[in-house]
A and B are shown apart, each in its own frame.
Chain A
């Protein structure tokens, strides 16, 4: 089978998985007792009359139509990007809330995961190749850092560097005293606000990537192909990049894809500790407010992101490992 056919089959599988996720997103809320309108009404404590209830149900898209009909309407709405209306922030559409948070999450968690993976892999490779202090001190120290409970690490960092030393802002994602516009000043505020949460994210995960990479690079270094590449007199840079790194990175691509996929569920604890307005923060808000439509939309967005990240890793693996192209 050609690489293209393989890819098409994989993407087909992802399409099926996405459909299953959509359907679950439809079925789950209908399996729990009550509905969004009931939840909202409960807060009004019976002060709403029957007309008001009917109007609310219509506004929230709750209907008593047959399930098949509802399912059809649900899928149709999805194609328009309509995920319903938030209950806790009525009447803001769910899609708008998720879309607003997505940029911040991708910026913070996405960039952090990428930096952590690249940095950790580079450190692990260097530790396996050269050994020394990097291997005996830096590696274990980073692993120790990663072993702390993350919320503790994040709160500690916020306390020391934000509150105590005042180097970083304490909360939010941008400087509220600067008008949100594509200006250098606003951009600098965004970077300053993202820096500390990003540092804690990278600090907590870089040790794991380093340890994994060190182990696989060690085993690749012990293979005959590396011994022979060196015996043939290949330049060190070529041996490291094409003979060691490319083989050692393969087992970690999947892990990287998973990490990337879960970015959209937000670095939940990070966003809570730093009051960062991303998906994780939104998710916590939705749970607190029992905002089912918003939760449903978030779960769907997270699922699709995991699927998309996996598809990306598939393509990446295809490019890096020729053996996957033949299967």
Chain B
């Protein structure tokens, strides 16, 4: 395991998260390491149960029992997140890092207006001289996400799905954080609203300079949106690399399978192919590579020996024995 990268806004090292249960633990995130650099969009893709949401919550220490972090490190802006006390955590959360969750309606308090929720967040971190100042600041935040001041005095149930998620993004940006974790923020929205919202996020990233850890099951979306893309499979990081290069020439068989299962929006038509089989049961982990039972190129070694990350190219690694590139090293 290597030290956190200097200058990263988020460093996750060898992170393991388990769900405690009466019949033993279930390991949801298993030895994941990655960095998010200032101002970049790092996308993490994975199917249901791959541990992506658990990872998002773990990064800000928002896991609820029975989930516990059992190994590894999380560093945000130079601070050891797992070692922080309540005071340190309160400083870190929302001023340095914030989060947007998938269900926009669940994330808002149904009995408070948008303004009350924004003002609560602002006041929790900085005193406002008067109500007028807080209201002006809330207005500015809504303007950032493209909502008018008439939204201020509305309740969540009066807003559309897209507007609600805009409010959540405004809440996440309220204290100008360096990192915003977005856990499937657009999954519940239709494609048109999704695109508008993501364009807005990218514009804001350019203007305000925050970094985004973007989590989704939608790999093609990530290739359009993210600077770098990671692919999670059964709690492990299968591949992580620059978006453009990875899209052209994915190194991990799982990434290749995912891309082959999606119709290309441009270029010639080609037959679609699914990935046979289903993800493994996390309660009964397999020895060796977890993708091996579904992998077209699996060899005998894949079923016994856990593949460690290979450097495939500059800033690009894949956890696969069959991946091309440099000889096997245990570098993240």
Give the CA-CA distance A107 to B108 in the complex, in Å. 41
**Which residue of chain A lies nearest to B120 when distances are taken between CB atoms in the complex?**
A234
Assess the B111–A322 pair: CB atoms within 8 A.
yes
CB-CB under 8 A from B69, the residues of chain A are none
By a CB distance below 8 angstroms, the chain A residues around B98 are 231-232
Residues of chain A within 8 A of B90, CB atoms compared: 233
Partner of B93 from A232, A243, A323 at Cβ < 8 Å: A232
Across-interface contacts of B109 in A (CB, < 8 A): 225, 229, 242-243, 247
A227 contacts B by Cβ under 8 Å: yes
* Contact flags A244-283 to B (C-beta < 8 A → 1, else 0): 0011000000000000000000000000000000000000
B103 within 8 A of A: yes
Nearest CB in chain A to that of B155: its residue? A322
**A73 interface residue per 8 A CB criterion:** no
Q: Is the CB of B120 within 8 A of A238?
A: yes
Q: Is B124 a contact of A233 with CB atoms below 8 Å?
A: yes
**A227 pairs with B120, CB closer than 8 A:** no
How many residues of B sit at the interface, in one of the four size bands?
A: 20 to 34
| CA distance in complex: A82, B90 (Å) | 66
Which residues of B sit under 8 angstroms from A246, Cβ to Cβ?
A: 111
With A and B bound together, what is the CA distance between A227 and B106 in angstroms?
Answer: 10
Q: In the complex, are the beta carbons of A323 and B94 less than 8 A apart? A: no
A64, CB-defined interface residue at 8 Å: no
Confirm or deny: B101 has a beta carbon within 8 angstroms of a beta carbon on chain A.
yes
Chain B residues, Cβ within 8 Å of A235: 124
Closest partner residue, chain B, to A327 (CB atom): B157
Q: Does B283 contact A (CB under 8 A)?
A: no
The one of A224, A232, A322, A323 in contact with B120, judged by C-beta atoms closer than 8 angstroms, is: A232
* B111 in contact with A321 (CB, 8 Å): yes
Minimal Cβ-Cβ distance residue in B for A239: B120
Chain B, range 102-151, C-beta contacts under 8 Å to A: 103, 106-113, 116, 120-121, 124-125
**Contact residues in A for B120 (Cβ distance below 8 Å):** 229, 232, 234, 238, 242
For A227, A228, A322, which residue has the most chain B Cβ atoms within 10 angstroms?
Answer: A228
Distance in angstroms between the alpha carbons of A321 and B109 in the assembled complex: 11
Known interface pairs A231-B62, A233-B90; A223-B124 also in contact (CB < 8 Å):
no
Tell me, yes or no, whether B64 is within 8 Å of chain A by CB: yes
B70 on interface, CB distance cutoff 8 Å: no
Contact partners of A228 in chain B: CB under 8 A: 99, 101, 107, 171
- Cβ of A46 to closest chain B Cβ, rounded Å: 68
Q: How far is the CA of A184 from the CA of B68 in the complex (A)?
A: 61
Chain A contacts for B64, CB-based, 8 A = 222, 227
Question: How near does chain A come to B311, taking the closest CB pair, in angstroms?
Answer: 36
Say yes or no: A224-B103 contact (C-beta < 8 A), given A232-B93, A242-B109, A323-B155: yes
Chain B 172-199 near chain A by CB (<8 Å), digits 1 or 0: 0010000000000000000000000000
Count of chain A to chain B residue pairs whose CB atoms are closer than 8 Å in the complex: 69
B212 lies within 8 A of chain A by Cβ: no
Tell me the minimal C-beta distance from A129 to chain B in angstroms: 14
Q: Do B62 and A227 touch (CB < 8 A)?
A: yes
A233-B124, A323-B155 known; A224+B107 contact, CB < 8 A: yes
With A224-B101, A231-B62 in contact, do A242 and B93 touch (Cβ < 8 Å)?
no
Total interface residues in chain A, CB < 8 Å: 22
**Across the two chains, which residue of chain B brings its CB closest to A234?**
B124
| Nearest B residue to A322, CB-CB | B155
Whether, in the assembled complex, A165 has its beta carbon less than 8 Å from a beta carbon of chain B, the answer is no
B160 an interface residue at 8 Å Cβ cutoff?
Answer: no
Closest to A250 in B: B111
Once the chains are docked, how many angstroms separate the CA of A228 from the CA of B121?
10
Cα of A321 to Cα of B110 in the assembled complex, Å: 8
- Least CB separation from B60: chain A residue: A231
Asked if B48 is at the interface of the complex by the 8 Å CB criterion, the answer is: no
In the bound complex, do residue B124 and residue A232 qualify as a contact, i.e. CB atoms below 8 Å apart? yes
Please give the distance in Å from B187's CB to the nearest CB on chain A.
Answer: 14
CB contacts (< 8 Å) of A242 on chain B: these are 109, 111-112, 116, 120
A12, B253: Cα distance in complex, Å: 68
State whether A326 touches B158 (Cβ < 8 A).
yes
Minimal beta-carbon separation of A240 from chain B (angstroms): 12
Known: A224-B101, A323-B157. A231 touches B94 (CB 8 A): yes
A115 within 8 A of B: no
Using CB atoms and an 8 Å cutoff, list the residues of chain A in contact with chain B: 222-225, 227-229, 231-235, 238, 242-243, 246-247, 320-323, 326
- Chain B interface (Cβ < 8 Å from any Cβ of A): 60, 62, 64, 90, 93-94, 98-99, 101, 103, 106-113, 116, 120-121, 124-125, 155, 157-158, 171, 174
Extra contacts, 16 of them, besides A222-B64, A224-B107 (Cβ < 8 A), are A224-B106, A225-B107, A225-B109, A228-B101, A228-B107, A232-B93, A232-B174, A233-B90, A233-B93, A233-B94, A233-B125, A235-B124, A238-B120, A242-B111, A247-B111, A323-B155
Minimum-distance CB pairs A-B, first 6:
A224-B106, A322-B155, A233-B124, A224-B107, A233-B90, A232-B121
Could you list some 7 contacts between A and B, CB below 8 A?
A232-B93, A232-B94, A232-B121, A233-B125, A242-B109, A243-B109, A247-B110
